Structure 1
């Protein structure tokens, strides 16, 4: 693959500064001064028609006076001048620009018109824009400080990307005094063009960046954001702060789910699925980054605490339990080991109180014993300076111990003057340390969340989760019928029919239009029965007096019909009624009432929620939220995230519920969300689950018209595993070959495939010498985002073991209309037609995504590949800058 298109933004060889000035404290003066003071390693071109020299450097009246190549433009001139400057940049061949100037869409209609003119000019010439109204960009290692921040940044391995320029300046000021260094600092401003997704896409392959920190106010392109966020988090820890957690107002919801789930719930669910850690404050952001950058390998949420003071240990324990962490239960072997090395008066449990006279050796023995315990996922060591304490010796001991163990070891040296030297030692060793127990516990919770979210990230469910396929066409016909009637709320009968099409068990329901008809239906169904008003206008039937339960005879049914009609006329005189629905009274002595819902988030699309059901659902407020698609692992995690999980096992003398039936319903709801883009809100409430199974007693579904898309899952933030691309093929020798999209669990066979290639085949594929894939490359190749790339592998079974025979992949180019491909076939499979089969399948997948062009690069010595390209109808041309490489291209 060619170099990243944002390289001119991050690592330009030359920079033109428009608006460069000598006027003290002007933006142009600060930007040029920053570039000079930071030791920029490229060539600078100050542009200002009023001066021949600025800050001791030659100035240029316009860009046309610059004869050399310019890679980056930094613009700090009035907003009205920017469209023409971008036009000049385009004519000069500049491909990236930082627009620091304000006065665009943030000021109203006039500014929006200017911004549109800037974007039009930029797109005509293929220029990518950072901003406008941004602080700028820093690359300390490169000496690039194209910002108007009054100060620089230390070089380091943290990348910080922020939507707030003001916050950037505060962070940079804080970082200078806290020995925090950056690989990049990026202020996005208004994100008129380049946004989070594209910046993340660059940082994921940036060798200078080890951790990525984000400050987010809002997301403009959810698919791009999620795609890049997931790609980055597979390789590097990503930690973010999101502001605006609480909505300023409330919306009128048509369903329980929509009233329960806010936009921040959806955002939280999204970042969990992306394998990202979310924190609440800037201090937590850097504390978590420091802990993750220490090389710790978090593996769970079981915390052990070692302390020389009982009070701090209890404080830490309380906070750990508040955060949902588990206090580790020490093994018998660890307890025996601690009994041998600690005084008889030690606490004999967790927290491990090593007593106030503990010195370095006692800390070492206790902490080592806990770290070596398989029941422990991390240790927090707390020290309070007491008469016999030697804080610095204990600190140095734990620093050495931490180097020998990959489990998180966090320290809290409380106090001030007596522990000041210890804090210096911890900081020099780059080990996270804290002044009080609570933030230390919080950081461990972030490490634990990182481990848990990384497991969620690995899940690549398909849209369909069962062997018994749903009747998707019947479901779509129900929705289409309602939309043709210009209705957005399905009747209860239609809603239950939709659930039935996806094999979700529902209570049998019939509609009566008179008291006598109600009596006859009830006798047919069998007593007792439930009666509910049948109205498209009423979401919450109970609130309208439209539900009566446990009707045991014909007389009660007749009276109930009249009562329901009268109640609804009184409480909802505006509602249109279409009779009364009747269904058997579900008598489940051991039943638990749950709710499964769907709502549609404006940014992230469909969201699934689960929790306690019944009429008090809003009051109880127990719900967990997840983004589809789901698989069994994700469903189990969703259930365990709620208070409802505690009553699903043996509960108040009731047997445990049929968990498989509950999981099946949640998987079926995920299928509905994937296959029915028009579904925007749904309540299954109550979903009654007992030891025998699950039953949807009531359902409410809201739909909306969605315009058709070439991308069948365009409505989803996370693209499902594209199972529809799986195909089979038989070789001439009778061997069966499966061609399918790659999955994360294919890492082992992918590595074995590359190892098994000849040196020539590896060189043809990668264009450099490689023996096997690095861990980073392996992750990139197997944990792909199907919305922006595709990898099809050909596999077969040999001796009950799956073997990879070839792989073809493409990555969609930034403009979204073309893609770049790569292909490699096992040496033993050359000449058997597999390459052509894989390429044909890959081109079909690209066409299905609406892509128009497929291109690639082939070494001119790779004659077999060039012959294949010729057979497939690719054009073949020399690459202008390298006559050893051929550029191949095909219109799809």
Structure 2
């Protein structure tokens, strides 16, 4: 696997400090001091035309005069000189640069012009840039402190990535007082080039990093951010703190969905899809990171609270409930054991109040008894200093307990009397907190991490594969509406698009006279609903434009006249296009539900589900998720709402299946139609007997929003790569990208390979296929990898007969491939066809080279590689393996994927 393109930043062997100085207070002086005083293990190369020596190090006048090409350039010059310095670095062959120059944003410096000029030069020379306007980069175990901060970091296993230099300095000072160490500290600044996604991609595979802390202000490239975040969160805990909780977008007044879903909801949804955990404060950022990095995990949400004070126990109970955790129901056996050890006057339930005179032994017995209960997943132990309390002895007793399977968090409340006990906890690495609020938030973070990771491990059912929508009809409606100058579709147009994606809707007939309205009502069957029909009016009730349960033809005609008169009074600027007439849907047990989509400016479409009707903005019962959805994600979205729990959508039922279908189809709609920006389906009537039907809908559109999937933060399933191939013997086989629903088929394929074929594919005598393996093989990030499966559909059951996959290497320019073909399909030319399509896909993705390793004994594969133009050579030190590779001619690198 190739070297990661950020390796020069995080593992430099030599650093040029351009602008190095001894002038007190200058950026160049502080950076050089930090590198020298930090005992950087590589070579430091000062560059400054005004000095011969700096800090006893030889100094050259310009980059070209350096005796060697440095791995990393740290640029500490005034803004006016940056462009020339970057040009000099490029000519010298430097490929990584940190810009620490101060004053880029000062009036008169032309910050945007400077940045654009610098980035154009950097791209021309293939230089990656971090900065400007940032603090710098630290790798404590290397002695690397390439910052102008006076703060230092201890070596450790936490990586901190921050957009704020001030926050970075404050966090380092805070961490130093608590002896918290770091594997890396990176302050990204303006993220002009290298951003969160790039750094997360590197840290995901960094062996020195066990968990990652992010401080986020803004996201500039959602696709890269999500791709890097998902890759990192699969391998190690990622804890995120985001500030600037924004209000709902400017569309808040144009749809119910827009009023409910804001930018911060989109960010939360993004973290949920990636498997990361969000926390509200710096203290919780470290608390959650330490808990997760130490291997503390919750297997469920049932918490036992053990306390020597009733008040703190009640506080903890409220906090646990507020954070969607639950108090454990202690078993009869546990209560019997507690009764034996506790005074008779203890309350006898959870929270376990062991009373104010509890000594260390009473604490120890009570905690160990609760941990032994199978209904307890974790414990919060609260101590308040009272007359007979033993803070230090009790802390020691807790530290001696086995808490590996069930996390125990300590909350020693107070000040002077418990200070030494808290130091005991810290020295022992035992999680401890000053307040019940902080402890409860840490437990909540563990719970959210468990839930997000469990979602990543879900394997969707193959039955969730869906038929193709009627794209021609949907595209035709949008084309016609845009040609007419519409940005909002009428209810009839909106419902027609929903119908094209098989979302059930009520029949709508547009009537442009009272007589047409009456005829439509009699044809549909009375009673009916009559509503104003105008793309300019979103909230029809606000203009008195709705009449429900109209019972007769005469009443329909009167409703027509009354609605048009009311609308003309309320909106004289609007010329209504008649009314829409719909059959009334008033099922006996019906509930109003809302499905919607709002376009977030950063993360693209956000899907929401929740309580519907005219009071949705008051009830505010909704959950959100980023598309594309699968069946598990759709169910999770439903059960996170009160209406979903009320309708028991977690249970297999007609309602659950129909809502699941509607959400999956809504996901297909927003993935496939980039010109659709917002969708408001409200109300959707849900009845256990008659099922689900959308009664009203409104779709918002706009032109020129990009092509393909550019509007998506998460790359959807690339359907366009599906094709049917005919092999040389006339056999037809379907080649398509793998999807999560293929898990069972993938498992059967691997299990069906002979021992030899398995060994050739995995270079190991692999045993049983595990669930994590299946998830890894089938739930792929199409932005950074691809797997093409060959499917035989000729028999009674669909069968996978081959697979070829590539993963983009850390250098961002090449990929590593693997291929396997079922034993009974070998020799038919399927392997060659799979490899040709895989190389074509990699080339279209902008990759330059494809490489892989093949066992020397696998002569058939080596012959195929030779026919496909691969070169080969033995892997040094392992003569049983051949390295094969070739260039992907005609590759076109997408500008957004640089490098």
Structure 2 unaligned blocks of 5 or more: 891-899
1:699 aligned residue: 697
- Map Cα deviations across residues 248-272 of structure 1 (whole Å, 9 max, x no partner): 9855643221222111111111111
In structure 1, what is the Cα distance between the partners aligned to 2:676 and 2:59? 60
1:891 is aligned, of 864, 889, 892, to 889
SS for the counterpart of 1:670 is helix
In structure 2, what is the Cα distance between the partners aligned to 1:220 and 1:841? 33
Moved more, 116-125 or 332-341: 332-341
- Map Cα deviations across residues 145-166 of structure 1 (whole Å, 9 max, x no partner): 0001113110000000000011
2:327 aligned residue: 327
In structure 2, what is the Cα distance between the partners aligned to 1:427 and 1:809? 47
Question: Pairwise mapping of residues 403-802 of structure 1 onto structure 2 (< 5 A)?
Answer: 403=403, 405-458=404-457, 465=464, 467-649=466-648, 658-692=655-689, 693-706=691-704, 709=707, 712-722=708-718, 741=738, 743=740, 761=760, 783-792=779-788
Relative to structure 1, the CA distance from residue 753 to residue 740 in structure 2 (aligned partners, 3 Å threshold; closer, same or farther) is farther
2:141 aligned residue: 141
Relative to structure 1, the CA distance from residue 445 to residue 757 in structure 2 (aligned partners, 3 Å threshold; closer, same or farther) is farther
Moved more, 409-418 or 20-29: 409-418
Relative to structure 1, the CA distance from residue 574 to residue 466 in structure 2 (aligned partners, 3 Å threshold; closer, same or farther) is farther
Relative to structure 1, the CA distance from residue 171 to residue 860 in structure 2 (aligned partners, 3 Å threshold; closer, same or farther) is same
- Map Cα deviations across residues 94-150 of structure 1 (whole Å, 9 max, x no partner): 110100013446868821111111111111111111101110100000110000111
SS for the counterpart of 1:313 is helix
**1:835 to 2:838 alignment:** no
Relative to structure 1, the CA distance from residue 65 to residue 881 in structure 2 (aligned partners, 3 Å threshold; closer, same or farther) is farther
1:110 aligned residue: 110
In structure 2, what is the Cα distance between the partners aligned to 1:348 and 1:169? 48
- Deviation, structure 1 residue 749: 7.8
In structure 2, what is the Cα distance between the partners aligned to 1:753 and 1:33? 62
1:870 is aligned, of 862, 866, 872, to 866
- Deviation, structure 1 residue 621: 2.4
- Map Cα deviations across residues 44-88 of structure 1 (whole Å, 9 max, x no partner): 011111111111211111122211231000011101111111111
- Deviation, structure 1 residue 16: 0.4
2:357 aligned residue: 357
- Deviation, structure 1 residue 686: 1.0
Q: What TM-score, normalized by structure 2, do the two folds share? A: 0.90
Moved more, 800-809 or 290-299: 800-809
- Deviation, structure 1 residue 193: 0.6
In structure 2, what is the Cα distance between the partners aligned to 1:755 and 1:215? 49
2:3 aligned residue: 3
The answer to whether the 8 Å contact 1:757/1:827 transfers is: no
Relative to structure 1, the CA distance from residue 78 to residue 311 in structure 2 (aligned partners, 3 Å threshold; closer, same or farther) is same
- Map Cα deviations across residues 255-304 of structure 1 (whole Å, 9 max, x no partner): 22122211111111111111111011111111111111221122222211
- Deviation, structure 1 residue 663: 2.7
In structure 1, what is the Cα distance between the partners aligned to 2:177 and 2:493? 64
- Deviation, structure 1 residue 719: 2.4
The answer to whether the 8 Å contact 1:753/1:804 transfers is: no
The answer to whether the 8 Å contact 1:201/1:228 transfers is: yes
- Deviation, structure 1 residue 369: 2.7
In structure 2, what is the Cα distance between the partners aligned to 1:56 and 1:778? 58
Relative to structure 1, the CA distance from residue 534 to residue 109 in structure 2 (aligned partners, 3 Å threshold; closer, same or farther) is farther
1:653 aligned residue: none
The answer to whether the 8 Å contact 1:683/1:700 transfers is: yes
Q: How many pairs align?
A: 877
Relative to structure 1, the CA distance from residue 702 to residue 109 in structure 2 (aligned partners, 3 Å threshold; closer, same or farther) is farther
Relative to structure 1, the CA distance from residue 465 to residue 783 in structure 2 (aligned partners, 3 Å threshold; closer, same or farther) is closer
In structure 2, what is the Cα distance between the partners aligned to 1:552 and 1:39? 87
1:808 aligned residue: 804
Moved more, 735-744 or 475-484: 735-744
1:846 aligned residue: 842
Moved more, 273-282 or 674-683: 674-683
Indicate the RMSD between aligned Cα atoms, in angstroms.
3.6
- Deviation, structure 1 residue 788: 1.9
The answer to whether the 8 Å contact 1:412/1:440 transfers is: yes
1:278 aligned residue: 278
Moved more, 325-334 or 447-456: 325-334
The answer to whether the 8 Å contact 1:303/1:377 transfers is: yes
Relative to structure 1, the CA distance from residue 776 to residue 77 in structure 2 (aligned partners, 3 Å threshold; closer, same or farther) is farther
In structure 1, what is the Cα distance between the partners aligned to 2:749 and 2:375? 33
In structure 2, what is the Cα distance between the partners aligned to 1:19 and 1:389? 60
Question: Pairwise mapping of residues 372-387 of structure 1 onto structure 2 (< 5 A)?
Answer: 372-387=372-387
- Map Cα deviations across residues 505-551 of structure 1 (whole Å, 9 max, x no partner): 22212122212222222222222111111111111111111111121
